[in-house]
Amino acid sequence: VLLFNLGVDIAARWMTHGITDDLLLNTLYGGVVGGIGSGLIYRARATVAGSGVISRIVQLRTGLPISQIYIFVDGGIIFMLGLVFGWENALYALIMLFIWGLAADYTLEGPSVIKTIFIVTDSATAVSQTIMARLGIGVTAWPVQGMFSGRAHDILFCTINRSDVNTVHLIVAEIDPQAFIVVGQGHRAIGGLLRTNRNGG
């Protein structure tokens, strides 16, 4: 906190005149630069001053994305300031806050370059073997029962690179057109068989 405040004071004295007086540009780039800086600080298991301490504590206890916590915590403060000082600057501050949170999330957790796939199918063996053969990844299966129909099915689960999503769709559509597929976001996969995508997803 001390270093953060010291850095702000030094920057304010060093840059006596801003790069631009455009309020929108200051809002956008302030959110990006501030979010990246906050994300780097959080990755080092440190925190920034003010509401950043509260946001980090809530994030560690709940697992919620830091962007959502920022919006709730700082958004409430900005709302109260808007009542006193007017809404135009408060609305710009909310835009900056949203961008700040997104940039902090991206810096802290990294890009979502992997996908998690759930496949409900009656042809689990054929689908899983084809996926493993074509993509070179592991597939996990377990039996389930549809509560509406009462029929037994199998669920397949695998973690794939983002660029392989369409390939999995084509494989499943070819073998079991009636299968149900859910695609989820992932940030990191550790262990197991996940083929490295050298093209970055």
Q: Which two tokens stand for residue 27?
A: 């809002």
Architecture of domain 114-186: 2-Layer Sandwich (3.30)
pLDDT band at 7, cuts 50/70/90? confident
Are 190 and 159 in contact by the 8 Å Cβ rule? The answer is: no
More confident residue, 183 or 198: 183
3-class DSSP state of 61: helix
More confident residue, 180 or 44: 180
How large is the average pLDDT for residues 32-41? 84
Q: pLDDT tens digits, residue range 114-149? A: 889 999 999 999 999 999 999 888 899 999 988 888
* Percent of the chain residues past pLDDT 90, beyond the cut: 27
Residue 48 has pLDDT above 70, yes or no: no
Residue 194 has pLDDT above 60, yes or no: no
Residue 200 has pLDDT above 50, yes or no: no
**Domain residue ranges of the chain, discontinuous segments joined by +:** 2-109, 114-186
- Candidates 101, 114, 89, 126; CA nearest to 48 is 101
* Beta pairing class for 114-121 and 152-161: antiparallel
Are 156 and 119 in contact by the 8 Å Cβ rule? The answer is: yes
